[in-house]
Homo-oligomer: A and B are copies of this chain.
Amino acid sequence: MQAANNRTLKNTLREHELKATTQRVALLKLLESTQEHFDAEEIYLQLRAGQKNVSRATVYRSLEALVEQCLVSKLDFGDGRMRYELSRGEDDHHDHLICEICGKVIEFFNLEIEAQQIAICQENGFTPSTHTMLIFGTCAECRKLG
């Protein structure tokens, strides 16, 4: 949404004890500029297309560091590639509807489901840390076209 400038991005990185390298700033900037869920290769290609010199290894290592600092979320849509999205803070949890036709991703959050999850964990003496919920199917647009 808001286009944070490089200074802000650098500060964000430093606040999380990460060196503010040009590669990391460019990567964060890219993720900030989109609502899409890119995979590592797409991020690599986008950065290259934007005249940034980055290697794949750096993309992977930077993403790992950003995920570790909770600045970025790593998503597994079950197709063999991990996706990444900027996380909007600690309390930004949401789950995903994924269109099997066009690949579109719709985010959602449901308090009732979250509550039930906690209840289920309690029933099983289980202490939850994270959870993921994916609903696959067909989005409205693809349904019309189909």
Chain A residues with a Cβ under 8 A of chain B: 76, 78, 97, 99-100, 106, 108, 110, 112-113, 116-117, 120-121, 124-140, 143
Contacts and interface: CB of A to CB of B under 8 A. Distances in A.
Given A132-B78, A134-B132, A139 B126 contact: yes
B117 A127 contact: no
A47 to B, nearest CB: 24
A83 B60 CA distance: 25
A113 B112 CA distance: 8
Contacts of A116: 110, 112-113, 116
Contacts of A97: 120-121, 124, 126, 128
B133 A132 contact: yes
A76 to B, nearest CB: 5
